[in-house]
Amino acid sequence: MINPTLSTTKHLTQQDDASYAFFSGCQPAGIQLNDVAWSPYRDKTLLKPITVTVHPGEFLAIVGPNGSGKTSLLRCLYRTNKPTNGTILLDGKNLWSLSPRQCAQRIATVLQDTGGEFGLSVFEMVEIGLTPKSLMWGRSEEDTHIIESTLVLLDVAHLADRSFDSLSGGERQRVMIARALAQRPDVLILDEPTNHLDIRHQLDVLALLSKLPCTIIVSLHDLALASAYADRVLIMQEGEMKACAPPNEVFTKQRIKQVFDVETIIDEHPVTQRPRFSFYIND
């Protein structure tokens, strides 16, 4: 089913690799949050008012301790949690004024949990990503090319005929990212996409995301990965946005101590020239 002559994920560049051609129609969107807050309870706000603008084509990483509000914020952005206060604008339009299909045509999401039995092959799982923009029944030659390209980009082309249910956690994660890419979104939102991935695939996936011609919003636990790939980092603590700035500005010893309760040695990575961290406890 998959053309074995297609290239692997290694050494891909957005400018000269044909595997990115299916993204040519992408129009990176800007997202503006104006005093956005959310809670399922009347007497307790879980997500405190946040005002921030995500620029078209930007790679924004959201970091913070467990329970800091990262996932709650993302759920507001992909229309699972309707804000109890404030507005979210997608290219100037209220996100909640759009239909679910209109949102799906512009926003793709990769969640943490890919559990459950689907009874589909890997190829068929990725094919689902075509649905929001599909104009016809059946699979066209272009559809097949898009599916094959995304499978190659995520290094899962060799699994195309395998049952999705039989895959490891890391393989499932890469397939779900491939499905989101097949959607050809203007905004790609990912909740802990490096969970279950080995070191090489963590780096491959984030390098790939950083090259995509769309707006990327991703939550991460690993500060080093956020520092290495994000244009800006938004730090959350107890449902509140503490800072949003480029990595070399947002990651200070004092802020890391305040938010994560660890001491840090920060230096410059010799290859990326981004902040590099060594953590320790000094209680």
Q: Give pLDDT, residue 140.
A: 82
Residue 8 lies in a domain: no
Do the Cβ atoms of 214 and 28 come closer than 8 Å? yes
Q: Give pLDDT, residue 117.
A: 73
Per-residue pLDDT of the chain in tens (283 residues, 90 and over written 9): 334 333 333 333 433 455 677 777 789 999 999 999 999 887 788 999 999 999 999 999 999 999 999 999 999 999 999 999 999 999 999 999 999 999 999 999 999 876 667 789 999 999 999 988 876 666 788 889 999 999 999 999 999 999 999 999 999 999 999 999 999 999 999 999 998 899 999 999 999 999 998 999 999 999 999 999 999 999 999 999 999 999 999 999 999 999 999 999 999 999 988 999 999 998 7
Residue 196 lies in a domain: yes
Residue 4 lies in a domain: no
- State the pTM of this model: 0.90
Q: Which domain holds residue 168?
A: 18-280
Q: Give pLDDT, residue 137.
A: 67
Do the Cβ atoms of 279 and 264 come closer than 8 Å? yes
Do the Cβ atoms of 147 and 116 come closer than 8 Å? no
Strands 59-63 and 215-219: parallel
Q: Give pLDDT, residue 282.
A: 86
Q: Give pLDDT, residue 3.
A: 40
Residue 135: how many CA atoms within 13 Å on its side-chain side?
1
Mapped onto helix, strand or coil, the DSSP state of residue 117 is coil
Strands 240-245 and 232-237: antiparallel
Q: Give pLDDT, residue 29.
A: 96
Q: Give pLDDT, residue 108.
A: 96
CATH number, domain at 112?
3.40.50.300
The string of DSSP codes covering 199-238 is HHHHHHHHHHHHHSSSEEEEE-S-HHHHHHH-SEEEEEET
Residue 6 lies in a domain: no
Residue 204 lies in a domain: yes
Q: Give pLDDT, residue 136.
A: 66
> What total number of domains does the chain contain?
1
Residue 228 lies in a domain: yes
